[in-house]
Amino acid sequence: MSLKEEFQTRNFSIYGQWLGILSMIICLATGISTIFTFNVVLIIFCALALVSAFLILFVEVPLLLRICPTSGKFDEFVRKISTNYLRAAAYFVMSVIQFVSNVGGRSALIAAAVFLLLTSICYLLAGIKGQDFIGSKTLGGQGVAQMIV
């Protein structure tokens, strides 16, 4: 199934997965760029954005759990975030954390919060519509990870 065909399935979990990748990139970019404001409160939220980016990377690209040497506890934690509702909850929590970053002053972290919220909404819609989580083949889902073993 090509990327175009994946998007034509109208499965919100595919949209959520790709928005998750975009959220990861935005969290990484805004976290790095905002860290140079030298505002202590914002630096803490920048660190949380960077942690969120790496967590999203392992959640959305399951192939990395097999390739990268990580601890068993981390692998178990990431594997628990497998259903649409749990992913929606995880992204919502990360979004709220970034929205709270406005307490430290206005910054680019609001962009990360908005994209994390959009991702959460996509996964929530997939859960409400009863759509099964379908991982994109491009990102290592649907049997790609099993081919490596």
Q: Classify residue 134: in a domain, yes or no.
A: yes
pTM: 0.84
Angle between helices 12-34 and 84-100 (to 10 degrees): 30
Asked whether residue 14 is domain-assigned, the answer is no
- Are 18 and 56 a contacting pair, CB within 8 Å? no
In a domain, 53, yes or no: yes
Please give the single-letter amino acid code of residue 59. V
Coil, strand or helix at 20: helix
Kindly state whether residue 55 falls inside one of the protein's structural domains: yes
Residues of the domain holding 86: 23-142
How big is the CA angle at 65 (ends 60 and 69), to the nearest 5 degrees? 140
pLDDT at res. 56:
92
pLDDT digit string, tens, across residues 15-35: 888 899 999 999 999 999 988
* 51 contacts: CB under 8 Å, gap ≥ 6: none
Residue 132: band (very low, low, confident or very high) from pLDDT cuts 50, 70, 90: confident
Q: What is the pLDDT of residue 148?
A: 41
| Domain presence at residue 10 | no
Q: What is the pLDDT of residues 58-113, one digit of tens each?
A: 888 877 777 888 888 888 888 888 888 999 999 999 999 999 998 888 889 999 99
Name the domain count of the chain: 1
